[in-house]
Chain A
Amino acid sequence: MSASVEVLAPSKLRRGATRTGLQILLDVAFSALLFMGTVAGVIALATLIWTIFDSGWERLVADPAGFLTSYVSRLPARAGVKAALAGSAYLMALTALFCFPIGVGAAIYLEEFAPRNRLTNFVEANIANLAGVPSVVYGLLGLGLFARFLRMGPSLLAGALTLAVMSLPVIIVAAREAIRAVPDGIRLGAFALGATRWQTVRRQVLPAAMPGTLTGTILALSRAIGETAPLLVIGLPIVIFTLPDDLRDPVSVLPLLIFDWTSRPQPAFAAAAAAASIILLALLLAMNAVAIFLRNRYSIRW
């Protein structure tokens, strides 16, 4: 831009002191546009939540206990989320069990022990790429490898392994960031007292990095709990009247149930889908609240 520079009195030296009328108009218009663009996303979110509550709240509060403790049914008024809710809970616990230790282990290795060489770079690039693989492709991996090749079928185990593999890159990244945030002074202090590298990591670095790691893990799990596509692909059932007692038993999950109910023609099923969505959102909100609580309560300011 070509600005004609004029000497101003010091009192006039502030931003935009020499704006013309048109410029002022443009500035105001641009601010308004920015504000509207930003608010649009917020309004969309609010509308989404309002829509879900508007169509599901009545169904949920009419008979909350019944909705939570009944199995699916051909009659929308009698259908409930029992199997799906239990299945989601089991699946999440098992997924955490598989991917937390491996994710943290990989993060420790990459941050604390890995030599800077081409293999390490390749592993890092690989993890970054895995985070961008569509979830439906993880479903195909679960179908081809766990369900068919390893003969697990559409079971709790196959579902948990699929979700664990999908969440692994996210957890590794979160754990690495938490480990990287621990200052080197802590490590050097431990070395100076004669600790080995593993002792240092085990007793100093890991405990300090744990809040951040747990927060990241919970967020990764909350994404996994809302996933539909991979579990649909490995063939988890929707109509199921038992709770699992065994890793090889089939389970259903909330998102699959919501998907099934949205694709039925009766309006009463749409209400049931919205009611189940409220439960799923409440579950996610609770998990995020725990993550935020951990972050605020235990995170260390260095």
Chain B
Amino acid sequence: MAGITRRRSRTGERMIVNVLFLCAVLSVAVTVGIVAVLLVDTISFFSESSLVGFLTGTVWAPGQGDGENGLYGMLSLLSGTLLIGFGSIAVGLPLGVLTAIYLSEYASSRVRGVLKPTLEILAGIPTVIVGFFALQFITPNLLRPIFGDDRVFIFNAAAGSIAVGLMILPIIASISEDAMRAVPWSLREAAYGLGATRRQVSLRVVVPAALSGISASVILAFSRAVGETMAVTIAAGNSPRMTWNYFESIQTLTASIAQTVRGEVAAGTVRYDALFALGMTLFLMTLVMNLISARIVRRFRQVYS
């Protein structure tokens, strides 16, 4: 549309277009703002405590000793974050992909009309409520009866993973379903022509053809799980520790930020600056995953369009 010759714009229009341009550029300003705010305090954090200690230390105990090595070691928080990330994928991926196959290949339009809004509702539940549900229901009524009260902590990584898994299920389902619907009908027809059943078409034609889209959805979902704060704070606890035991209490990067700000930190202290170092870690982690995911999605859009 931009190439169309038309009447010369009136003088006032230049102004208007400039204002609109400013609105669009403001989004870049937001990014610059985020990076600047994170950088300023991250730099001052690393001037007081060591980068190596932050990246390799396994003890996160702010306020104990002033920025000595090891007390600001984020590995225990990273391990908690990864625990929740993998756990929530273990819950959300199978359910999400099964839902996507059902919606794309099996469901009648009436069933789709009911299911899709239901998934949207699930995606729209505030995370603080999902966390409350995990603490009030999942741990006492599911995990503890099955695995034993003595093994399952009141706050535990499994409950957090299930909560976050439910939150990322709609993301995985909707992106995977888009990828499956993008698979051309001719491929399905060809398989049916060879006598394949709907199951074989789904599993051997549609899913392999949509695999890149499915993997993009998983990466994006993992990124969301890493950035999730409230549900893991409420259900998984606030004890930074290196463990692979899902029934123990852990702490994620995000939960650590939430816990620190609740405890009234004075600006300018190492503890305050540590918040931004954690924020920077989160920002970079999620940015990389989002970029990879977006790139994969762009590619599968090109293949079939």
Residues of A within 8 A of B (CB): 1, 3, 5, 15-19, 23, 26-27, 30-31, 33-38, 40-42, 44-45, 47-48, 51-52, 55, 101-103, 105-106, 108-110, 112-116, 122-123, 126-130, 132-141, 143-145, 148-149, 165, 168-169, 172, 184, 187-188, 191, 194-198, 219, 222-223, 226-229, 232-233, 235, 255, 258-259, 262-263, 270, 273-274, 277, 280-281, 284, 288
B13 touching A44 by the CB < 8 A rule?
no
User: How many angstroms from the CA of A274 to the CA of B98 in the assembled complex?
Assistant: 31
Report the minimal beta-carbon distance from B10 to chain A, rounded to whole angstroms: 6
In the complex, what residues of A have CB within 8 A of residue B170's CB? 41
A34 touching B102 by the CB < 8 A rule?
yes
Whether B52 sits at the interface, judged by CB under 8 Å, is no
Tell which of A144, A223, A235, A284 has the most Cβ of chain B within 10 Å.
A144
A172 touching B27 by the CB < 8 A rule?
yes
Interface of A is mostly: helix
B283 touching A137 by the CB < 8 A rule?
yes
Whether B148 sits at the interface, judged by CB under 8 Å, is no
Bits for B185-224, please: 1 = Cβ < 8 Å to A, else 0: 0000000101111111011100000000000000010011
B24 touching A37 by the CB < 8 A rule?
no
Whether B40 sits at the interface, judged by CB under 8 Å, is yes
| Interface set, chain B 248-305, CB cutoff 8 A to A | 254, 257-258, 261-262, 267, 275-276, 279, 282-283, 286-287, 290-291, 294
In the complex, what residues of B have CB within 8 A of residue A114's CB? 24
Looking across the interface, which residue of chain A has its beta carbon closest to that of B32? A126
In the complex, what residues of B have CB within 8 A of residue A41's CB? 95, 99, 118-119, 122, 166, 169-170, 173
User: How many angstroms from the CA of A233 to the CA of B128 in the assembled complex?
Assistant: 14
B258 touching A37 by the CB < 8 A rule?
no
User: How many angstroms from the CA of A33 to the CA of B261 in the assembled complex?
Assistant: 44
Looking across the interface, which residue of chain A has its beta carbon closest to that of B262? A232
A38 touching B37 by the CB < 8 A rule?
no
Whether B38 sits at the interface, judged by CB under 8 Å, is yes
A106 touching B20 by the CB < 8 A rule?
yes
A136, A198, A262: the one within 8 Å of B16 (CB): A198
B10 touching A196 by the CB < 8 A rule?
yes
Whether B145 sits at the interface, judged by CB under 8 Å, is no
In the complex, what residues of B have CB within 8 A of residue A135's CB? 227, 229
Whether B183 sits at the interface, judged by CB under 8 Å, is no
A226 touching B197 by the CB < 8 A rule?
no
Bits for B15-56, please: 1 = Cβ < 8 Å to A, else 0: 011011111111110110110011011000000000000000
B27 touching A106 by the CB < 8 A rule?
yes
A1 touching B23 by the CB < 8 A rule?
no
A17 touching B195 by the CB < 8 A rule?
yes
In the complex, what residues of B have CB within 8 A of residue A274's CB? 132, 136
A130 touching B30 by the CB < 8 A rule?
yes
A229 touching B124 by the CB < 8 A rule?
no
User: How many angstroms from the CA of A144 to the CA of B115 in the assembled complex?
Assistant: 41
In the complex, what residues of A have CB within 8 A of residue B229's CB? 134-136, 228-229
Looking across the interface, which residue of chain B has its beta carbon closest to that of A172? B27
